[in-house]
Structure 1
Amino acid sequence: MGRKKKNKLHKKKHGGTYNKKKLKNAILSTLYENPGKTVNYRQISGALSIKDPETRKLINVALQELADDGYVDQISRGKFKLKARTGKVTGIIEMQPQGFAYVVSDELEQPAVISSRNLNHAMEGDKVRIHVYARRKKHDLEGEVTEILERAKTIFVGKVQTTKNFAFLVPAGKVGFDIFIPKEKLNGAKDGQKAIAEIKDWPQNARSPFGEIIEVLGDTGDNDAEMHAILAEFELPHKFPQNVDKAAEKIPLEIQKEEIKKRRDMRKTTTFTIDPADAKDFDDALSLKKLDNGNWEVGVHIADVTHY
């Protein structure tokens, strides 16, 4: 039953009567939504909700003329299929907010439009191979992704949602899909936590890609977890390399006497840092003291970080 349903043309409601020109455009619009399907006039009639006998006969004539003009191929008597351009075109996916995409290619004079149903799991920035279909008059060039040559991105940041037997990572931003995570691939991630997942596979008939958690960032709402999630989303490093941490550990905490002599010593003045207790550095501070003449002095202290 699932296969039969999948192969059916999508019905569209069209008002009014058809002349031949309007009918050809309606036929091509239907075929562009099902570019690999072979159809006859009965299937086109059903897709366009046409019951009028005269118009149904005109569909056969329109299909034959579309074949003569190079828009469709006649596979056998009474059966037609949208004609694909010979040769292979390679380009880059540029997703649009409405769900469709453009493929920009040096082999094409203009970008080709790829409907959402013809993306075949292609994502923003992917390098793909497409079939470009015969161009309809006064319409954009259209095509279908036939192969994903190179993924632009396989790692995503998001929130973990778990069920009894499996989990999903809901990516941040406008991604358009969730990543299916098998229970054994959670790697310690718990429901509601922020994490990073890597896509490992995307089967042809699966709605979601399959992936695994490669790093747990922490609980949603935790300051560090949220900041690290933002950094990771934009592919910025959210932790220092080990060699940098090791170099930082070698920096002495004591200030040498020779260095103190070069500076104004404020250690006897009560000074308050304005950084929070969990800050990684304390480089700004304020002081307040009463002068001999009765005035109050407010000191603004900025650390000399370049010294280190």
Structure 2
Amino acid sequence: MGGKKARKRGAGRNSKTHVDKEDLLRYVRKSADRGTNFRHILEDFNVAPAARKQIRDILNQLVKEGKLAKHRGSRYEAAVRNLVEGTILVHRDGYGFVIPKEKIQGIESDIYIPAALIGPAMNGDSVKVEITLHKPGGRAEGRVASVEKRARNTIVGQLRYDGQVFFVAPADDKLPEKILITNDAGEHKDKIVEVEITRFAGQTRWPAGKVVAVIGFMDDPDIETNVIIRKFGLPAGFSKEIEEEAAALPDALTERDLTGRDDFRRRNTITIDPKTARDFDDAIDVEVLPDGTFQLGVHIADVSHFVPADSAMDREARYRGTSVYFPDRVIPMLPEKVSNHLCSLNPKKDRLALSVVMHLSRTGEVLDYSFHKSVIHSKERMTYEDVQQILDGSPSLEEQYAHVVPQLRTLQRLAKIIQERRRQRGAIDFDLPEPMLTYNERGDVAGIVKSIRLFSHRIVEEFMILANEVVARHLEENEIPSLYRVHEEPDPMKVQEFVDIVSGFGLKFEPRKAQPADFQKFITSIEGRPEERMLSYLMLRSFKQARYSEENIGHFGLASDSYTHFTSPIRRYPDLVVHRILKAAMARRTQPSVPHAQLDAIANESSERERLADQAERELFERKKMLLMEQHLGDMFDAIIIGIRRDGFSIELIDHFVEGFVPVAEIPNDSYRLDPSLHALVGRHTRQRFRLGDRIQVQVARVDKLLGRAYFLPVSPAAAASRRALARKGSSR
């Protein structure tokens, strides 16, 4: 059987050597519903081999312009301008990711934006993105189509002069390298300034702006804190209207304040807080009932009694979202008269509270609960350290606090029961040591030490989690619109990346559809290993951030079906909102205290403000560490590699909690390539490897105070051996 073979098109005598861009665009737009691929384009345009690269370049340009979309197999189709709205996070290397505002069908992760397609967008901006490429596994690439809202109109940095123009180098490597200065500010050269952006990058390479505030020199006292306050746009003080509103509140409780409240002043209520705490949100008490069950009281400051909805204080609290805690100061959510006096559950004072009284079984199950508008009288202001010493058997403290010692031991016993119950359901517990700064008599950073995690911390933590769950469950079961604290399941791709890293250490981690118990089991399995801290950190990075939502989708990390924030209304706005909602439900009011339409906005605002506060606190802490590193230039430290990139690797100093970066371009005698399969940088000539999790010795090379970053270099094996020999010699004296 035979027939004529179809003549293959393309590369014939009359083949084209040039293709017009508009002709190519029209051709793809007229193609079938699923577009066309590169091979068909070559055939239908009958192009010469020399023109193939030109066609591919034109197609790539049309993708960049957002006129075409590219799919697997070099398939092209007209771009559907379904714009995705979200927030862009720009990496220091120029590329970015957009976190969609809402879940997009077919896209399972954040949208990757190549550096060339970010356009005028800057880190943190609200943008609209056009999807340009769909990838396997629900991944996608896109281009910024428009900037909807700027994250900031001002930038903090150092005023410099390059011999031709004045510019500001931002104190943030996720922003453009320079902001050209348009006003006369030469007298402030080398100072840290705040710049108002008057022209964003786009048609021009660099943004431009004018100096609007002078913060000081890089070596000034408190400059780090002042830089962070300006950089993150944190509020300084309260307005006159708010101060007057707070001043108008009574200095003490009145009989009218006590009306309609349950009197819990005879209960053996105590607070347990850090030594430095100035405001006390929560108090607790416990009683063992005759049948061996427990009655637990969790009493939370009734802030909503003094801060009415839509008052000046309330509007400001909503704007701030949370208090911000720095090593040397606090930027409070509420004025001091409210946060530190009227609402704070100070010892030996009558205070208003919203109380959750729970009846618990011997195994920690909640058998019953009730909510109360109450008045309490805290018997003692305890610190975590004192409580722990009492639990450990300190005779002097047992004598001093004899009236609360039996209750403390019961609280300890009940907390262990509840903790075990949470573990059995699979709650994830990262019990890692945290760093703490120490200061000398002049107030300068003197060192970084490991903060001690005590079981007394656990006691308070367990009871607050339980109270939050009880409130959330009650509101959900009664179909009362509210705010929830939610934590989604981790991104499967990020989990797989973590699994790949773990396998490189010879460890097994095979999570079943991302069950929290699997993660907790793995954490337990690596306890005490040298790489425990690093792997726990990488696991955390594979998780999504917890956030606020009016829709309850559960809390993955806590393995909790219903969770909210109720226990810290002095310092968190969502807790204050939940108090109002709960009080309205207790009063059986049909009119909601917070309109349902507002809940979504409050959830988004509060999540955003929380992230901002976390970033500010974390960055200031890192900058304070850099002051210490500056005193150790040239010194050698033991470190562990915690991250690998093409241009270098991140390290953490062992026992010092300082992170830094080793640029491979500065390592002498070799060049290095990234081997993703090994999670390592490998020397092209020496074959030396720097692998994730390796322990190495490093030397402090330099500190960039503007960016708050330390740079290190590896110590040669000979120098490391010499250092060890000197250490042994010194220890033998």
TM-score with structure 1 setting the length: 0.49
Q: Which is helix-richer, 1 or 2?
A: 2
Larger radius of gyration: 1
TM-score (norm 2): 0.22
